[in-house]
Amino acid sequence: MPTLPASLITGQGRRYAALLALALLSLTSACGQTNTTPPVPPAIVTDSATGRADMPWLRQQLDSSRTLRRQQIGVALADAATGEALFGYNEAKYFTPASTMKLLSLYAGLALLPDSLPSLRYFSRGDTLFFQGTGDPTFLHGDVPSRRAYSFLLGRPEKLLAYCDIACVPAYGPGWTWDDFNYYFQPERTAFPLYGNTVRFYASMPQVVRPRPGAPAQALPQRVRVFPRAFAPLTERAGPDFRLSPDQDDEMHVYRASLENRFTYRLGSKKWIDEVPYRTSRQLLLRLLGDTLRRAIVGTVWHPRPGQDSIRTLRGLRADSLYRRMLRVSDNFLAEQLLLMTSSRLGYRDSLSGARAIRYLLKNQLKDLPDRPDWVDGSGLSRLNLLTPRTLTALLARLHQQVPEPRLLSLLAAGGGQGTLRRRYFEAGPPKQPWFWGKTGTLTHTCNLAGYVRCKSGRLVAVTFFNNSIPGNDQATRNAMERLLHEVRERL
């Protein structure tokens, strides 16, 4: 019987044998190895049974988000160029849209108004010019001022200017919060606004002086300038006995009495600017207009003679200037007046009614939206407004198809640029590169977003992201929306 070599039964031999076996095992594994890295799932999948597109990865993140799952959310994405639906999450449920309703007001303006705003209607008879408002908010407005109507009325040769009333909606819209009367974002709606229907207060930096060398410094009272000046006699400094009620905002500087134009301001340690709506009336309108034009203005009725008096419309500011301001800073007053102006183009033109414009649009241009909107105002201040995510996304796709893309995006707030999106939705650069253009919508417990995402592939995606019933602060919701839309940008 043969015997094993001594080297194989020593400790050294056993080590050599183990190393040889290990090498042979590694070689065998390498030869048979295959790539086991799982493939990256597609960003969009299509259901073979229904043909509907879906994004399972996005659905999973919405379901698992600790921030979003505590509230009511609805999301709808579509290709902006084709309108093809790409994703939906509670997309057919109704939500409070807040200021994203201004996108419907934009559509109303684009559909019903010319390139220039209708500033006023008028006719001349003998030595009198008769004129009435169309809802144009730009007459000496502090942010989108137009002097067209001012110059027109100032230069008329007629001896008498006669303002004529026109039936108009109530000062506040249905479902508005009545105790927001003191806030800049809720001026009254009127047929002929002046100065944006607000009063502006400009407080200078408090001055400290010494009456004489070596004397103790003395603080002079803060100077406050009031504009229009007609409201200066109605403004007074708060005295030592001035007290706020428990529900008043103690961060404001100027407070107006609820039912009259009586203003009280509090002094501060820094300069400040405040804007407060004033109570409108026919008498006040005639007075302010007369003071502004330095001409006598009388009030009368609109009664042109058929076939004899030629009624004309004065064109004012370029409409895009108003749309841009309304959307970028979410100006409620401009949105409400825009809807009134669209109504001046419909029917007998004997009244200004946003509801008339809404009914017309829902019966005609917007009749084929996925779900009929509950649409009651132009600004979104009312909680009676209701929209579904897929309806607003369909409107965004329609806007993109009907308005050249450069013009459309220039009207909206841009990420990292202007207005409500200036701190989000951009690549740092330099230079900054926005990748989202759109409109925010914010009320208490409500934080919404609607607009367009520019994806890395170049594709433009229309998106609506509704969040209602948010408990507490909405900052986490804003962060979650930005993170998810950034991932949409990366994947699509």
Q: Give the model confidence (pLDDT) of 143-182 as tens digits.
A: 987 899 999 999 999 999 999 999 999 999 999 998 899 9
- How high is the mean pLDDT of the chain? 89
* 142 vs 122, more confident: 122
CA 28-31-35 angle, to 5 degrees, is 125
How is residue 234 written in tokens? 């109605």
Q: Give the model confidence (pLDDT) of 360-389 as tens digits.
A: 999 999 999 999 999 999 999 999 999 999
How is residue 157 written in tokens? 């040769």
Model confidence band, residue 8 (pLDDT cutoffs 50, 70, 90): very low
Q: Give the model confidence (pLDDT) of 468-478 as tens digits.
A: 999 999 999 99
Q: How many CB atoms lie within 10 A of CB 374?
A: 13
Residues for the chain: how many in total?
A: 492
Give DSSP secondary structure letters for 99-111.
Answer: GGGHHHHHHHHHH
Q: What is the average per-residue pLDDT within 33-38?
A: 54
| Backbone angle region of 414, left / alpha / beta, with phi > 0 → left and psi within -120 to 50 → alpha | beta
CA nearest 297: which of 311, 312, 285?
285
Helices 332-343 & 102-112 angle (0-180, nearest 10): 30
Which superfamily does CATH assign the domain made up of 46-111+322-491 to? DD-peptidase/beta-lactamase superfamily (3.40.710.10)
Determine the pLDDT at residue 156: 94
179 φ/ψ angles, rounded to the nearest 5 degrees: -85, 15
Q: How many CB atoms lie within 10 A of CB 169?
A: 22
How is residue 231 written in tokens? 């409201």
pLDDT at 22 over 60: no
Judge whether 338 and 322 are in contact, CB under 8 Å. Answer: yes
CA nearest 354: which of 190, 163, 196, 198?
190
pLDDT at 33 over 60: no
Q: CA quadruple 154, 157, 159, 160: dihedral positive or negative?
A: negative
How is residue 274 written in tokens? 């405040």
pTM for this entry: 0.88
CA nearest 387: which of 369, 370, 373, 366?
373
Q: CA quadruple 141, 143, 149, 151: dihedral positive or negative?
A: positive
32 φ/ψ angles, rounded to the nearest 5 degrees: -95, 5
Determine the pLDDT at residue 268: 83
Q: What is the average per-residue pLDDT within 217-236?
A: 89
